Chains A and B, each alone.
Chain A
Amino acid sequence: MLLSIEGLTKRYQRRDTTFAAVDAVDASVERGDFISFIGRSGSGKTTLLNMIAGLLAPTEGSVRLEGTDLYALNDKEISRLRNTRLGYIPQGLGTLANLTVFDNVRLPFFLDKRSGDASGRASYLLEAVGIAHLRDMLPAQLSGGELRRVLIARVLMNEPDILIADEPTSDLDVETAMGIMELFATINKRGTTILLATHELDTLEFSKRVLSMAAGRLTEEQRA
């Protein structure tokens, strides 16, 4: 098992009441899985993905990556894990405006000590996601679909075990969204585990498993 989620809970205080954005979620993810988390806005998908990505400490429960409890690690250790094994594409955080497309893609390589051909890999990834011609552009000069491709190329820079994406096709037209989903499917076929949150049912055909969130609780949808 690649990822094990046990009793994962995140509670928030809202005035005098406490509510659980994620409520005692248990799940397991195998290597090579392609899981879509579906649910309405506010159902807890993003909170769950943030906790799986090691960005938000849970109130209760644990997230274990091949046995390692993410929230038992110190800042340096969990940062290294995010840099090497957990690739995350948050919904709201995109590219770094001061860096070119090429540098945005290369950046994760330089956030930890490692050797290798960063430029060669970045060029290959830009080619693979179909935006090699945009490498010297600044993010402000790109369309929404092109920006998503930059984010996908960047998240693959350090060859993570798990790619987590929050609403990767929101605000995109159907054709562009399908192109992005096909890209995820290709990446998954090459061995990367993919977890993504979506509320666009059209994209579910690319997933191997669909998990539904409602009021912080998770249930598995049976595929026909």
Chain B
Amino acid sequence: MKLLKYFGCSAILMSAAMLQAQDAAEVEQLKKKLQQLQEQFEKAQNEHQKQMKALMQQIDGLQQKQSSLTADQQQLKDQMSQPMADAAKASSLEKGRWRPSDPISLLQRDSSYLNLSLSGLFAAGGSTANDLSSLQLGGHDPSQRGFTVQNVEAVFEGAVDPYFRGQANTIFFIDRDGETVVELEEAYLESLSLPWNLQLKAGQYYTEFGRHNPTHPHAWAFVDIPLVNGRFLGPDGLRNPGARLSWLMPTPFYSELFLGVQNSHGETAFSFRSGEGHGHEGESEGLPFAFRENENDRGVRNLDDLLLAPRYAVSFDLTDTQTLLLGASGAFGPNSSGESGNNDTQIYGADLTWKWRSSRHQGGFPFVTWQTEGMLRNYRAGSFDWDEEGDLGDADGNGFPDEGVLVDASTGLPAAFSRETLTDYGFYSQVLYGFRKGWVAGLRFDFVTGSRGDYEKLPLILADNAGGGASAGRDLLRRERWRFSPNLTWYPSEFSKVRLQYNYDDRRDIGVDHSVWLQLEFLLGSHAAHKF
């Protein structure tokens, strides 16, 4: 019995143990399964998360894609949502496109049909020269002690249609008499889509002669214009109504050929048929240029009587940071010197611009530019007799030549000049160093002179109506002169500048003068892009 009991017990125990073992195995299995499930679940969850993420990104992309509809669709969308947008929102820029019903707000390009800007250029200073109006050759140079409103310029600019771009620069300034003067500086069309790499410009524009001439006062690097420009191209620069064709040549480097045809008369056709205007109040306070009145206004009869202005410019990138631009220009046309005849003027110019700009510049700084321009003018002066009325220059009949009549001392009669060619030449060279953001130091050297004309070899006397008078001396409008101008400019931002300049002026037969000018500029509206 006992044995049976033991047996039973052991059997039970054994079976229990077996059961236990079986149980353990099952638990193990279950555990494994659970783990597997867990892993699977985790995997699924991961995958799910990934999918979610991808979906989110897709949505993101789609949303952005939706906003990347073409401009037209965008506009349509804008228009559709327009009624819903409240008035406040409509005034914000978010809507982008300007519509004719909107008030004209003077915004940047792309948001209006017309880009407007206004710049004001003012100067203050003084000089040791008493004839400041002769010392400073430019019409917009500071030319009086105290304050000068040099140039207040309104620029209107924009695309006219797919074929043309239009621009007009009107200038206001206050002259020495306090009178406000308005000038139409430039107003022209420029073609956008001529074939064969051609471009046409037509209207009133600055002749593309050299580097300085086509530059507007607010873009000058100095407070005044170079002497060669003042003497040969005039106080306001060479600009006139006309048309110009340019051709971008199919060379691997930049090279462009310009040919302009402009009127040769008017105040701004200095050195040409500017007529009475030629003896601008600039350098001559007494005698006119070449001691002859400009009375030969023969009008336009054929193409030769227009002003022809060719230019060729070529540019190379010397290194990644250095660029060279070379140019050769010409201006050929009739002049109104003397009383009659076909007299003409030829001006030749050569220019060089070298620029270095750091490959890590900020706001364009630091940089160094070196710009030099040389010009040569052959001016065929017409014959002129100071005894214009045939009364020996004695209109009041007192027996002596009247005051202001030029008399040849060797004969005692009013001077008579025959035709001759007068050659003048000169150059300027300037270096600008933008040494830190907003700061530019500049240095300019000017030189200009003329070969002695036959008329300057005569013993001329400026009569005083009493049988005497002062010696006329050399023609001061062609006399040797040089100038040295250091300056410093600070640009608080792109839209304003403060400039201090000193001029050391040496005029042969007149003497040395010192001038100091402080210049201020502001700019409102859209800022025109910088050209090279």
The judgment on whether A and B are partners is no
